[in-house]
Amino acid sequence: MFKKSILTLVFLVCAIVSSAQIQRNILDFTLGTTTKTQVNNYLKNNHIEFSQDKTGMVEARDIKFAGHVWPVIQFSFYKNKLYIVKFLDNDGFTPAETLTLVCDNLKTGLFNKYSSCYKGKEDSMWMFGDGRTEVYLSYGFFLGARNLGLIYFDSVLYDKQLKEGLDEL
């Protein structure tokens, strides 16, 4: 009987831990694994308009994700591995009322899926993290416009990139 109880407890803990993980697959990409070449090839093959700046960040346009067509999507890389995906919109692209509805839907979806990973709210940003992956939802005014952002990032690569940048000081 004792062994059965232990086995049941282990199973429950595993179920809780596995459900508390934030998805690392965004679109057809995996944080920490997908390369810049793979992102560029995907965008080209799907006829998605994109550009790359001198820092290596790739910016795409008009991709549907989480039920919304995002006018700006940014992909950032560290040592050629995808570590940040930012979905961005503002009231210059989408009416403010629509942005509010989209934000409310995203917030509900994130809490339904990742409530055990909720890290808190700062200003107008809700933060979720599982120690490996973070997702932030932000909504507020910036530079005279209402802005909505959904950001996924690989915590480990983000910390390495940040440390490398601080080492340059």
Range of the domain at 23: 2-167
pLDDT in the model for residue 13: 41
Domain total in the chain: 1
Tell the residue number behind the tokens 């059965």, with chain if given: 4
pLDDT of residue 10 exceeding 60: no
Q: What is the pLDDT of residues 52-106, one digit of tens each?
A: 999 999 999 999 999 999 999 999 999 999 999 999 999 999 999 999 999 999 9
Could you tell me where the beta strands, DSSP code E, fall in 10-161?
25-26, 29-30, 50-52, 58-60, 63-65, 68-70, 72-78, 81-90, 118-122, 125-129, 133-142, 145-154
Distance, in Å, from the CA atom of 155 to the CA atom of 134, rounded to the nearest integer, reads 6
